[in-house]
Amino acid sequence: MPDTKPLFVVLDSVDSTNNYAMAKVHAGLAKQGDAYFSFIQTDGKGQRGKNWHTGNRQNIALSIVIVPSQLYVNEQFKLSAAVALACVDFFSQFAGEETKIKWPNDIYWRDRKAGGVLIENVIGSDTTANKKTKNKISGTFWKFAVVGIGININQAMFNNELSNAISLKQITGKEFEVTELAKQLHLLVLQKLNELSTQPFEKILQQYNERLFKKNEVVRLKKDNIIFATTVKEVTANGLLFTTDLIDNFFDFGEVEWLL
């Protein structure tokens, strides 16, 4: 009988753990929950096309393969929210309750970035074999997601491009064993995804909003070339950021940029 236990693969160096995991997916060599961790990541991916470099064995660079069989293609925020909650729970164990989720899935401690999540999807064409799967929409179905997570652990100095970055070591003054922490994070993500399939999403969304960065505070956002002040209220069930000023606003991911 094949082993169904998720793998935890440790790599010395890789361009991107997401690229590595995605290659395994396309080769048919990955299954639900398999994780790929690298000590060094030379060309890691971040949001908005940014890089997330991990050098000198100091930080977590981790990608987890997910088969989102319980979710529709248009429910991708549910996966994002569950992963973000796992990350904030993980980091707050060591850094305390000042750890927050900056919408949609960055991890912040006070006003500084400690980590981030990038989810890449594999969407397939519907066939007779999949016509009963729940996660299909408009002739397509959600085959795989690769969840990439970067968390700053032992890094003590960051370059000028990362002026607002912070690590667990800078917060606590302690050095951590990165591989063991990555294994803990892997298990927390899988536990949170199990909750996603066994309980109403409203509970996860409530927890997400309880940990929302700058909730009920005035922030500056930029849309196109317009900078404006608005108060963060919550994130909706479909992943929109709800803020209010003279009017109520609902922003989709990528529609606005935070100015901190």
Q: Give backbone dihedrals phi and psi of 105, rounded to 5 degrees, phi first.
A: -155, 30
Q: Let me know how long the chain is.
A: 260
- The predicted pLDDT at position 52 comes to 54
pTM for the model: 0.90
CA distances from residue 90 to 44, 155, 187, 191 in whole angstroms, order as listed? 21, 17, 10, 12
pLDDT digits (tens, 9 = 90+) for 72-131: 888 999 999 999 999 999 999 999 999 999 999 999 999 999 999 999 998 876 554 444
Decide the pairing of beta strands 8-14 and 35-41. parallel
pLDDT band at residue 39 under the 50/70/90 scheme: very high
Residue 141 pLDDT greater than 60, yes or no: yes
Helices (H), the chain: 17-26, 76-95, 168-172, 178-198, 201-210
- The predicted pLDDT at position 129 comes to 43
pLDDT digits (tens, 9 = 90+) for 215-241: 999 999 999 999 999 999 999 999 999
- The predicted pLDDT at position 37 comes to 97
- The predicted pLDDT at position 144 comes to 94
8-210 maps to CATH 3.30.930.10: yes
Q: How many CA atoms lie within 13 A of 101 on its CB side?
A: 28
| Contact assessment for residue 88 and residue 99, using Cβ atoms and an 8 Å cutoff | yes
Each domain of the chain, given as residue ranges in start order, spans 8-210, 218-259
Residue 133 pLDDT greater than 70, yes or no: no
How many CB atoms sit inside 10 A of residue 246's CB? Answer: 7
Report, as an integer, the average pLDDT of 249-260: 95
| Contact assessment for residue 114 and residue 107, using Cβ atoms and an 8 Å cutoff | yes
- The rounded distance, in Å, linking the Cα atoms of 9 and 256 is 36
pLDDT band at residue 160 under the 50/70/90 scheme: confident
In three-state secondary structure terms, 244 is strand
Residue 250 pLDDT greater than 90, yes or no: yes
CA distances from residue 159 to 17, 31, 53, 169 in whole angstroms, order as listed? 22, 36, 11, 16
- The rounded distance, in Å, linking the Cα atoms of 164 and 260 is 9
Report, as an integer, the average pLDDT of 152-180: 92
Amino acid at residue number 105: N
- The rounded distance, in Å, linking the Cα atoms of 54 and 13 is 9
- The predicted pLDDT at position 57 comes to 84
Q: Of 196, 173, 47, 67, which is closest to residue 130 (Cα–Cα)?
A: 67
Q: What angle do CA 101, 14, 18 make, to 5 degrees?
A: 45
Residue 163 pLDDT greater than 90, yes or no: no
